Structure 1
Amino acid sequence: MKEDTNVNNTKMRKECEVLWAKNKYYVLSKSHKVYLEVREYLKEKEVDIQFLKEKILNLRDVEESKKDFNNAILHVWGYFKKDASDVEKQGLFCILEKYMTEKANQEAVIEYIKVLLKKYPNQYLQESTLLTGEYDETLA
């Protein structure tokens, strides 16, 4: 019986890790606080996929936070900074500045990131719901 519990815990943890990998930048873009809560939760001995799904779903209606979205994009930028040119870096930081001053929206920033992704492919980022917008599919 104990072995079954360990197998189930391992399976549940793997499911949570896959879901978190897809959604962590989306969560970070909505709430740094919830991002930190989930990171701590995933360190626990036993985790539950439903808990994680609910945490992510509850963020859908959270009002946009420019600071949190900017922070998430800076984390995403970390995947490009070694390869991207100075011009590409300036381009991202310029559009982020426009976003922060309400001269551009989140979609414009995400589209710029997608351009970088085409030039510098990264499967991890390509599956991120922050960039794909596939929140429903991920939580199905």
Structure 2
Amino acid sequence: MKKETEILWASEKYSIMAKGYNFYKEIQGKMREAAFEADYKEIMMMIADFSEKPFERRALGNTLEHVWGYFKESADESDKQHFFSLLATLRDSNEKYFNDVPYEIGLFLQFLLQKYPSDYLSRSTFIKN
């Protein structure tokens, strides 16, 4: 149960972070303290519950910047400019919540992942392939 929960958390952590940093920190803390099967079941339920929530604009922007960290060392200047232009558009949006990562940003993240591969990010549900 521990391994399954760790794999699930690794795949969901950025999606949860983009819904609310407090949700991310809550699960992160529970993962550190988990010792019994019941603890891991609770974490899996929390992940399922938080996954149903919409993305919050501010948390989504912060998560995108965090994910950018995987690309920043290898990305060329045009990719950097385009990413931060998309991020600025998101942050200037009047929308407070999003059901999905905005299409253009999601598409660009997929492009970045293909151009600058990351095994860890490729397993994340945040960047849908």
TM value normalised by structure 2:
0.84
Q: Considering only aligned residues, what root-mean-square deviation do their CA atoms show, in Å?
A: 2.1
Corresponding residue for 1:94?
Answer: 85
For this pair of structures, how many residues does the alignment match? 122
Q: How far apart are the structure 1 equivalents of 2:68 and 2:16? A: 16
Moved more, 101-110 or 24-33: 101-110
**Alpha-carbon offset, residue 22 of structure 1:** 0.3
Query: In the alignment, is the contact (CA less than 8 A) between 2:15 and 2:51 conserved in 1?
Result: no
Q: Deviations over 1:88-130 (max 9, x none)?
A: 1111000011112229962221111111111011121111111
Matches for 1:2-21 after TM superposition, within 5 Å:
12-21=1-10
Q: Which runs of 5+ in 1 are unaligned?
A: 1-11, 134-140
Q: How far apart are the structure 2 equivalents of 1:45 and 1:57? A: 17
Is 1:74 equivalent to 2:65 in the alignment? yes
Is 1:53 equivalent to 2:44 in the alignment? yes
Query: In the alignment, is the contact (CA less than 8 A) between 2:12 and 2:125 conserved in 1?
Result: yes
**Alpha-carbon offset, residue 13 of structure 1:** 2.3
Is 1:128 equivalent to 2:119 in the alignment? no
> Runs ≥4 in structure 1, deviation > 6 angstroms?
none
Q: Secondary structure of the residue that 2:33 maps to in structure 1?
A: coil
Once the two structures are aligned, what percentage of the paired residues are identical? 30
Q: How far apart are the structure 1 equivalents of 2:25 and 2:11? A: 16
Corresponding residue for 2:74?
Answer: 83
Is 1:24 equivalent to 2:20 in the alignment? no
**Alpha-carbon offset, residue 64 of structure 1:** 3.1
| 1:29 counterpart letter in structure 2 | A
| 1:41 counterpart letter in structure 2 | K
Q: Which runs of 5+ in 2 are unaligned?
A: 96-100
**Alpha-carbon offset, residue 45 of structure 1:** 4.6
Moved more, 91-100 or 46-55: 46-55
